[in-house]
Chain A
């Protein structure tokens, strides 16, 4: 089935190749297990207000500032790779896989919203900032888990029925 907005199947493998190391590196970086001091570079910032407890920035907009680029690079890799895995055709793309894809996306949206509401109600301060960082990626990760689980179940089920 030709779908207008899906990448060809070969992009899925490339997505996994980028996603797995990026996910591991991202978790290690956010938990401060590793760091990349050689990625401290001058970057252009459109907007850079002072964070809580920081000295007031001399200039908040259109400034050149020093920043460690590790989190930016890993975040971009995570976004691109989850899109490649999630939005590439499965081996035999047809209307049933399209239905499973749509259902999984809805399921992920509901679960993600539920988790977010829970965190809004029960997590405060810096913890909530951390939640928001993780929340940048949870929707797509939940979708990927669910979609591949239902695809696996469907293939198992059809194997048993033969």
Chain B
């Protein structure tokens, strides 16, 4: 799973802290999500998509496998 959370967050000029506050998680969670150390649940992914004003499939996508 890869994601565009960092790009979209930066585009909206939000810090990790801002985004974390808006969706009610810790900054560590946003960081782990952006660096692909953590794949969020569907509920959290939907919250992120809502705050970043994107469709969930625009933010999170499966990596192509051989």
Interface presence of A121 (CB below 8 A): no
A108: min CB distance to chain B, Å: 20
Residues of B close to A95: CB separation below 8 A: 25, 29, 40-41, 44
Residues of A close to B31: CB separation below 8 A: 154, 157-158, 161
Which of B26, B35, B41 has the most C-beta atoms of chain A within 10 angstroms of its own C-beta? B26
Residues of B close to A91: CB separation below 8 A: 26
Q: Considering the chains assembled together, what is the distance between the CA atoms of A99 and B44 in angstroms?
A: 14
* B34 contacts A96, C-beta separation under 8 Å: no
Q: Which of B16, B20, B25, B32 contacts A154 (CB 8 A)?
A: B32
Residues of A close to B50: CB separation below 8 A: none
- Chain A interface main SS type: helix
* A161 contacts B29, C-beta separation under 8 Å: no
- Chain B interface main SS type: helix
Q: Which residues of A contact B (CB under 8 A)?
A: 1, 91-92, 94-97, 99, 151, 154-155, 157-158, 161-162
Interface presence of B30 (CB below 8 A): yes
* B27 contacts A158, C-beta separation under 8 Å: yes
Q: Considering the chains assembled together, what is the distance between the CA atoms of A97 and B30 in angstroms?
A: 12
* B28 contacts A158, C-beta separation under 8 Å: yes
A103: min CB distance to chain B, Å: 11
28 pairs, A vs B, C-beta closer than 8 Å: A1-B25, A91-B26, A92-B20, A92-B25, A94-B24, A94-B26, A94-B29, A95-B25, A95-B29, A95-B40, A95-B41, A96-B25, A96-B29, A96-B32, A96-B38, A97-B26, A97-B28, A97-B29, A151-B28, A154-B28, A154-B32, A157-B35, A158-B28, A158-B32, A161-B16, A161-B31, A161-B35, A162-B15
* B16 contacts A158, C-beta separation under 8 Å: yes
Known contacts A95-B41, A154-B31, A157-B31: does B25 contact A162 (CB below 8 Å)?
Answer: no
Interface residues of B in 13-65 (CB under 8 A from A): 15-17, 20, 24-35, 38, 40-41, 44
Q: Considering the chains assembled together, what is the distance between the CA atoms of A52 and B8 in angstroms?
A: 70
In the complex, which residue of chain A has the Cβ closest to the Cβ of B43? A95
Q: Considering the chains assembled together, what is the distance between the CA atoms of A155 and B31 in angstroms?
A: 9
